[in-house]
Structure 1
């Protein structure tokens, strides 16, 4: 607690524009340095800094080094996040101060970022980042400050604010691999932190849009699909939902253009205009700091991009043009998108996003004799413009989407159905694509894409990340396709949600079998709890418990979908709950139940081992593994879920100082 001193009292009675610091100091009775330092550490620090900036702004103005040093020493002790934000805006708004003292202030901010007060630490970190972006701070030291070794242990208030800072750093330094690697690694870790998961998903999605616009990206469309999924995860979050919806809708437009869906593109256009109106209203009601304005304004480029795509799609689908020039201009705009319509902040190649739409235009114009006749007629008026269009029509397809080994099926899939590939994996998607023509494949792609977006927007980012990792692990399973996959995915979603609720006792109404007890509870408690959970959800009516005559034994839980059945083995563990030990002890039994149905199953373990220093993160409590019984040629894929029991309250992990 800083006690107000003589300088504070003078600043509180000050009226009008702030005087120069020298004028203020002259009125002090004692030595100025202690008073300046005391004031800079208190709530009136912004006013004090305004007097310093005023002195520097005067003709030939300079500040005594003793006074500046006292200000910086006081700021290092600042404990108000609001005062610190105002101070940062005040000081960084002065070019004279930043040029003369920016490096020293940057060191103060770096030191302050380690304070135990999370909101203040985040504000110090923001100031350090802003100075480094402005060129007045050490970039690598700033990156080290933004990338802690263990992100999962961060205070929630600090972690919640960190993704925005990491994203701003990626805007500026994302093209530098030495820097971006550490930033992206921390973002990935924050995806598992409940307080930061939504923000991290948004910033990851935004970086993936940048990557899609990078000429070095082999498959920009697949990257856009992944980015859309991350943005969907972030949409439900209040702090970044509006921006995530805006960028996500922009990707929807690009994907609708690629599959030639005019109705979807028009719907997206209307939705985008609504989001932009909401955003503009938000800007009018609130203050957007100057250092974040470029990102805010970049969002409006989506409107121009979508307008171009809508006009271009109309041009490629008309059998003839009554007025050729507007259509030609629309195609040229889409084929050569300029930097003004690359709707992502940061340094990206202006030719990047154009690579995503060019194959659609080129393939739509080839063989269109009526349109080519119109081009030749129009050439009389403007040969240069028609020459550019002829280049589009006649050039060979050099799209990076082509398969390096000229595999026609793979090239067709990646071009027409990237969402299906992302969801099913390339082998299963290839089998599906061989059975349908291009029009049907485009229709199925639209359904798959909409499903990806819808599911992503309904899930907490931490749960969504765990589900994504499990789905990826199951893709090698030959049975994980078609209706079997749909059924198992339904079970998977219910299981992951169950694990999340039981990981957080406050959500799950204090389930007593998860609390420390003597004797320890039997696995039947978990079995009953999970079966009851399933009966209350969308799988109601498909659940059976203690099912006899399965693999010469009795299965704990069975979920039936007609002839397809999935079996869940439930166990408890008292000694060693490591992955390797759980699989060694129980995997063979869990896998044996799937001997006459789909080669998919589950193992659910009640972990009653001691947890003296905390419990694993939710993302570590489920994984996919496989096994093959001796003499068999068929792999069995098992999802292992670990329910953490024998848990004390978090306060039990604290220890008094010195103990």
Structure 2
């Protein structure tokens, strides 16, 4: 290769910042568009193809047509005849994350990748090219392209293809089945791969795992409890056998433990006064999952294959939430009201969705990435989970239990949950008068809604409606890839603590996820998102006398408490609790005795220029609340300063503070988040003429 572009690339790499290295070089960094055009054929045919595509993606919109045409043609040729499998994989990472470049390459890229995959599967070219080519087709299809060529290729696989061509292929087949309709024929392909003795053991194990996941999905989508139980038993047998024959399959072991716990829950609910075997099974499964989930997080954290597949950090949080649900249930085995598998099933559903999500460009935002989850229809599991959570809230939450209508609502919810547990189909009906204008409750009750009295307190029904809505949001993946990557960054820091061990690590991870989700949601939200509850995000209101009434810390505390309390076991989230580090904690999460996590909430009217400003004012108090518990806590600051010129971005507003008060103390790790409040409407913002550094 002529030295000009190669030397320019080396010089750029030696001086580029970490952010620039992540973004990749532009055409100017490679010596300019003329130099790249002169050497483009050599670049496209060699290991520099990913750099060529990256530079082309950066400059494609501004390049003259006479320069863009040869560059695009050479790039397409490089994808048709790649230097190697790893070069093709890296090149397709660029194409699949730059929709503008993919659009300019056109439909020919799908045809070329399909042809390349066919040749690799037939043994007519390097067999290792099959996996990245089909992965590229899958990613392009999930991002909005046509899946027909992809599904035709996958359906024709017999298991007699070259072994290297089928490496990790069962995973791609399983993901394709998750994301596209009418793909049951792919189960036959997975069965063929599982039973092909000439294949690599790892490939056959992947096929077994995907078949077990198919049974698990069938259970999650079942219309009634009996069918769900049968499918879970099938999945459990597959996962258990895979764990027995492949010790390294921690994923199979985790799923087996989770399903065993759900089935034990179901047995306890059916026969709460029976022998202790179900309780013992639940305890053993919960302990197994506690250990395995931690090992699984460490194992997947070191993997760098198929980085586009799975929201790793959100999946880790989902596993942690399931561990929390099971551990909390163990502490309440003397209370039959806790014998319900619904919560654990919903946690398992979230594990499934997050682990099968795909990173893809957001359709409505240039340069942004979305997490696309499979469309898993799980009405029975979702409704059972919501109804059980509502039932627990009506039985234990003071905002409901102190009201005379609480018992009526509790009986109605319990009756509906027991009724729907045995249903195989639902009858659509117009909701009764009591649920008019309350869509979340109406969707749960459907035909049973007319059984509710019309004279129930509308304020109580509104509270229950808001709770149902909040719970439904908690069960739903965010679709925001930035939340996953941001969570991963924070978890990587937390893992450096010697105290980051099960079960505390499992307890804090989902709390951190929902802290992030709260901040991301409220950063974007309008002040009327939840009516009076989120009004503090907007301008100061006026009283009936025309006097300005300032928002305060209580408004933020109320919102955050209402956000997280429905998402964790009933009674585990409290507020304004005294005798915590000789003071009163704002919001406190206690999943079990000895594990206590505090969210300290503050309100400030002065600008904060640096992270150190916030730490100086609030760190000592937040850290002190960890004195008798795990060294992890949250600090949420409502920034009510002047935002007439805008406010800083969310990534600069969330960070981890490491603080040790002695040479021998385990450092406290406080996750701080600053939320801009009392914000003006965007159209009234103006650029500050001489803005000081903030």
TM-score (structure 1 length as normaliser): 0.49
* Rg (Cα) greater in structure: 1
